[in-house]
Amino acid sequence: MSEVEAIEARIRSLPPSEFASLRKWFHEFENSCWDEQIASDCKAGKFSKLIAKARAEYAQGTAREL
């Protein structure tokens, strides 16, 4: 049995209250990882072209409201 399969089996055996706590923790952990990835990508300049395009559209008055 792989480590992931063992974790899956343990999760399936959790009582509902502990499963709810795990789900909440995992959701927060996943969001934190996502935030870190976005920050890292931004710092690396991966959004520079998109930012420049958005600024140009705004300056030209062609930007659309979301």
Residue 51 lies in a domain: yes
Number of compact structural domains in the chain: 1
DSSP state of 45: T
DSSP state of 44: T
Residue 66 lies in a domain: no
* Closest C-alpha to 53, from 41, 39, 38, 63: 63
Res 66 pLDDT > 90: no
Residue 50 lies in a domain: yes
- pLDDT, residue 64, reads 85
Alpha carbons 7 and 16: distance in angstroms, whole number? 16
Residue 13 lies in a domain: yes
3-40 per-position pLDDT tens digit: 999 999 999 999 999 999 999 999 999 999 999 999 99
Domain range enclosing 36: 3-60
Residue 16 lies in a domain: yes
Residue 65 lies in a domain: no
